[in-house]
């Protein structure tokens, strides 16, 4: 790793200014093992951890820079920084506020229940990470805008809620990064779920990026063995333990420590599934995803989601249009072994559910002989489906959205056909209605 003062001064200035606004945290493992310094600033992991000038709009950048430059007071800097942060949509999608479950009239903070079979648990001590990803949609929490409102100090609310909801089979422990916790802390959350009374809990997932940003946490760290023993106990209690590894780029699977971490975690009987958002400057190419899935499968990982980057923070910097995301997914998917075709995406966690862009099709391809004379056979539409949904009846249902080469998030999608609305609610307001007409019907209306 080069010394900080040997990094290009312009690059350093950019990092200095942007890191006043967006969270920045890295560690020696990442700096020494994952970043190819001769390739900076284009190096994907450099982009993943170091704030970049382009993440702010020029006027936002200048406002922060000039306050620093003229030696403004801390209060003045805080005011400018706070204004810029509010311009970056710090509260996207209402994910965290819409789905807080209620038990006997009491909201249960630190839990989220959006899809029938799965409940999310946000342990209070697991709401930070070893390294912050520049594209993280939880960035507002890390700079203190959101606080820890969405975290819970214990599992007791969850246990009570599970007893009242026997349909829940999956508990997903998430953050932040729960693997930042010591094994003893993690155990306090997990052990109660293993009791025979809660046999309904079949699957326990732990979402983490520690396998790539701090792999010695599972190998040589003083707490590593305690952590692996906990994993073994989960498996011995006849639960499926899925470690949802956040893997953004195949380079993260290269270091021997990262591979040793995979071997040790898998030796407990846990499965590791791999998922990440598709992010410009980091992994926006089919080559990268094909290599990631191929390497992962060879090491025994199971490809899971390719997410679309959420509409918050430096989204303009990271955004990949949905049409391009779909192309990247399809191309990577077509190039890998069937064993890697467990990958699903590109998927957007939107209000009604996880929406996947399946394909871009023309009306001619969809309708063939049923094409009505007045329509343009070359008109393109997005073919979408739900891979997860608030209403389980929607899962697997396909629908069409108007093709827009620039659309990069669900709220930019419009119904494909005139006089039609999407047959599901797109926001929390609005009536729930079930899927309606087929395309042919829609065109004839």
Ligand X SMILES: *Cc1c(COP(=O)(O)O)cnc(C)c1O
Binding positions for ligand X, rule: CB under 6 A: 112, 114-115, 118, 120, 172, 349, 354, 388
| CB atoms near residue 429 (< 10 Å) | 7
The reply to whether 177 sits near ligand SF4 by the rule CB under 6 A is: yes
Task: Decide: is 198 part of the binding site for ligand SF4 (CB under 6 A).
Answer: no
**Shortest Å distance, C-beta 284 to ligand SF4:** 17
DSSP type of residue 145: S
d(CA 332, CA 334): 5
Query: How far apart (Å, rounded) are the C-alpha atoms in residues 102 and 80?
Result: 38
**Least distance to ligand SF4, CB of residue 130, Å:** 8
Residue 26 site contact among ligand X, ligand SF4, none (CB < 5 to 8 Å, cut-off depends on kind):
none
How many residues touch ligand SF4 under the rule CB under 6 A: the total is 10
CB 307 within 8 Å of CB 347:
yes
User: Can you tell me which of 14, 123, 126, 175 binds ligand SF4, judged by CB under 6 A?
Assistant: 175
Contact 21/63 with Cβ under 8 angstroms? no
Task: Pick one of ligand X, ligand SF4, none as the site partner of residue 403 (Cβ within 5 to 8 A by kind).
Answer: none
Which residue of 63, 133, 357, 401 would you call a contact of ligand SF4, by CB under 6 A?
133
- The minimum distance between CB 95 and ligand SF4, in angstroms, equals 13
Output the CA torsion sign for 11, 16, 22, 24.
positive
Residue 114 binds which one of ligand SF4, ligand X, none, with CB within 5 to 8 A depending on kind?
A: ligand X
d(CA 210, CA 207): 9
For ligand X, give the closer residue by CB, 114 or 246: 114
Spatial separation of the C-alpha atoms in residues 177 and 209, rounded to whole Å: 7
Helix axis angle, 224-236 to 183-190, nearest 10°: 20
**Does the footprint of ligand SF4 cover residue 280 (CB under 6 A)?**
no
Per rule CB under 6 A, is residue 136 in the interface with ligand SF4? yes
From the list ligand X, ligand SF4, none, which binds 175 (C-beta under 5 to 8 Å, kind-based)? ligand SF4
SS3 328: helix
Residue 120 contact among ligand X, ligand SF4, none, beta carbon within 5 to 8 Å by kind: ligand X
β-pair partners for 277: 307
Q: Which is nearer to ligand X, 64 or 120 (CB)?
A: 120
The residue to which tokens 């209620």 are assigned: 102
The stretch near ligand SF4 (CB under 6 A) out of 127-135, 147-155, 282-290, 370-378 is 127-135
- The answer to whether residue 346 forms part of the interface with ligand SF4 (CB under 6 A) is no
Distance CA(339)–CA(50), nearest Å, equals: 34
- Least separation in angstroms between residue 388's CB and ligand X is 4
Q: Which does 354 bind (CB under 5 to 8 A by kind): ligand SF4, ligand X, none?
A: ligand X
Q: CB of residue 239 vs ligand SF4: minimum separation in angstroms?
A: 23
* Non-local CB neighbours of 184 within 8 Å, separated by 6+ positions: 226
278 touches ligand SF4 (CB under 6 A) = no
Residue from 46, 132, 304, 410 in contact with ligand SF4 (CB under 6 A): 132
Peptide bond into 176 cis (omega under 30): yes
Q: Toward ligand X, which CB reaches closer, 209 or 281? A: 209
Whether the CB-CB separation of 55 and 273 falls below 8 Å is answered with: no
Alpha helices in 347-437 (DSSP H): 363-367
Q: Hey, which residues does 354 pair with through a beta bridge?
A: 349, 388
Buried b (16+ CB within 10 A) or exposed e, 212-230: bbbbebbbebebbeebbeb
Question: C-beta of 93: minimal distance to ligand X in Å?
Answer: 10
Which residue sits closest to ligand SF4, CB atoms considered?
A: 136
Which positions lie near ligand SF4, rule CB under 6 A? 129, 132-133, 136, 138, 175-177, 209, 246
């Amino acid at each position: 790793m080069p010394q900080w003062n040997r990094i290009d001064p312009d690059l350093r200035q950019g990092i200095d200014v942007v890191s006043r606004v967006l969270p920045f945290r890295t560690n020696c493992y990442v700096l020494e093992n994952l970043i190819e310094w001769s390739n900076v600033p284009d190096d994907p992991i450099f982009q993943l951890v170091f704030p970049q000038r382009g993440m702010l709009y020029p006027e936002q950048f200048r406002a922060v820079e000039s306050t620093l430059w003229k030696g403004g007071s801390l209060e003045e800097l805080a005011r400018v920084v706070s204004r810029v942060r509010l311009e970056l949509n710090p509260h996207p999608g209402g994910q965290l506020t819409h789905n807080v479950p209620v038990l006997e009239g009491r909201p249960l903070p630190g839990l989220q229940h959006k899809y029938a079979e799965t409940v999310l648990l946000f342990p209070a001590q697991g709401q930070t990470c070893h390294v912050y990803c520049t594209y993280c949609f939880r960035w507002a929490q890390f700079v203190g805008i959101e606080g820890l409102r969405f975290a819970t100090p214990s599992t007791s609310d969850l246990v009570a809620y599970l007893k009242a909801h026997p349909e829940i089979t999956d508990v997903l422990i998430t953050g932040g990064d729960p693997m930042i916790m010591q094994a003893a802390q993690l155990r306090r959350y997990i052990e109660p779920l293993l009791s025979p009374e809660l046999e309904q809990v079949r699957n326990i997932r732990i979402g983490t990026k520690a396998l790539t940003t701090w792999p010695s946490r599972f190998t040589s760290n003083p707490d590593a063995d305690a952590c692996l023993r906990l994993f073994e106990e989960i498996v011995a209690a006849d639960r499926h333990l899925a470690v949802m590894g956040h893997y953004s780029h195949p380079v993260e699977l290269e270091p021997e420590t990262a591979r040793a971490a995979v071997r040790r975690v898998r030796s407990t009987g846990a499965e590791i599934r791999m998922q990440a958002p598709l992010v410009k400057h980091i992994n926006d190419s089919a080559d990268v995803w094909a290599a990631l899935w191929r390497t992962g499968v060879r090491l025994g990982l199971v490809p899971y989601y390719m997410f679309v980057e959420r509409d918050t923070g430096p989204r303009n910097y990271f955004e990949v249009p949905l049409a391009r995301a779909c192309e990247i997914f399809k191309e990577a998917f077509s190039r890998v072994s069937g064993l890697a075709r467990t990958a699903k995406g590109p998927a957007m966690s939107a209000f009604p559910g996880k929406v996947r862009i399946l394909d871009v099709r023309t009306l001619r391809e969809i309708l063939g002989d049923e094409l009505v004379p007045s329509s343009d056979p070359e008109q393109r539409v997005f073919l979408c489906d739900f891979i997860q949904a608030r209403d389980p009846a929607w899962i697997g249902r396909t629908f069409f959205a108007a093709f827009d080469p620039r659309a990069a998030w669900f709220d930019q999608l419009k119904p494909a056909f005139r006089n039609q609305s999407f047959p599901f609610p797109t926001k929390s307001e609005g009536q729930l209605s079930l899927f309606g007409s087929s395309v042919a019907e829609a065109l004839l209306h």
